[in-house]
Homo-oligomer: A and B are copies of this chain.
Amino acid sequence: MNDVSKVANSNGKQPRTASKKVRRQQLIDATIESIAKYGLTGTTMTTVTREAGLSLGLANFHFSTKQNLFEETLRYLAEEHHQFWKESYEKANLAPEAKLEAIVDAHFHPTICKRKKITVWYGFFGEAKARASYRKLVADIDAERFHLSARLCRDIIREGGYKNIDPENVAMTLEGLYDGFWLNILIYPREFTRFHAMRRIKEYLAGLFPEHFEYPQPPDCKD
């Protein structure tokens, strides 16, 4: 049984008390779940605690305010995402094109690219106040990824002797594609999936760096 909310002690009974960390994560998971179900605005302290099977007072005890709970939820997603593409990047083989592709794929890996998580991201983008939280918490990570991608592009350009290509501009375009495709997945989930997103980005890279990327083969899925 993997669900943290169902942890049972040796007596088979749910423990009345649990560690700080476990409770916090329980509440953050419930927050994501609730935002997915009811939207950012539709999510109240009550929907979160009901989802978690915990009491109102407890949520307040651990997070003090709703705003804080929401920020911690965003922080959790941001860190999860950060770790995920960083690990992908590191595990990829040494070629810069492999590392760049790893970052792209991380963005659309099922662990990260879930509707319920994207819902939270775009909930934060949509609200002025939440946007401020976003910048505070995520700007650095965005910048880190941007610079890493730009560096990889620079390596690829140098290796391939590509002309007229600015690595930072490519990185910027990639960042735009990530966001734009996530939005399309959110709004038109039937017509546009994470597979479309990955293919479109690979095509873009294959167009720019023909020696390093090849066009995705479309046999089974014309998209």
Chain A contact residues, CB within 8 Å of chain B? 36-42, 119, 122-131, 134-135, 139, 164, 168-169, 172-173, 175-181, 183-184, 186-188, 192, 196-197, 199-200, 203-204, 207-208, 215, 223
Contacts of A180 in B (CB 8 A): 175-181, 183
Nearest chain B CB to A218's CB is how many angstroms away? 8
Contacts of A184 in B (CB 8 A): 175-176, 179
Q: Which residue of B lies closest to A179 (CB)?
A: B180
A10 to B72, CA, bound (A): 44
Chosen A-B contacts, 16 in total, with CB atoms closer than 8 Å, are A39-B126, A39-B127, A42-B129, A122-B126, A125-B186, A131-B186, A131-B187, A135-B187, A169-B200, A173-B204, A176-B177, A176-B180, A176-B181, A176-B183, A179-B180, A204-B204
Contacts of A215 in B (CB 8 A): 164
A203 to B167, CA, bound (A): 12
Contacts of A126 in B (CB 8 A): 39-40, 122-127
| Copies of this protein, total | 4
Q: Which residue of B lies closest to A181 (CB)?
A: B176
Contacts of A199 in B (CB 8 A): 169
CB-CB nearest 6 A-B residue pairs: A126-B126, A180-B180, A176-B180, A179-B180, A39-B128, A39-B127
Supposing A164-B215, A172-B200, A177-B176 touch, asked if A183 and B129 sit within 8 A by C-beta, the answer is: no
Nearest chain B CB to A176's CB is how many angstroms away? 3
Residue contact B42 to A127, C-beta cutoff 8 Å: yes
Partner of A127 from the list B41, B179, B197, B203 (CB cut-off 8 Å) is: B41
A192 to B142, CA, bound (A): 13
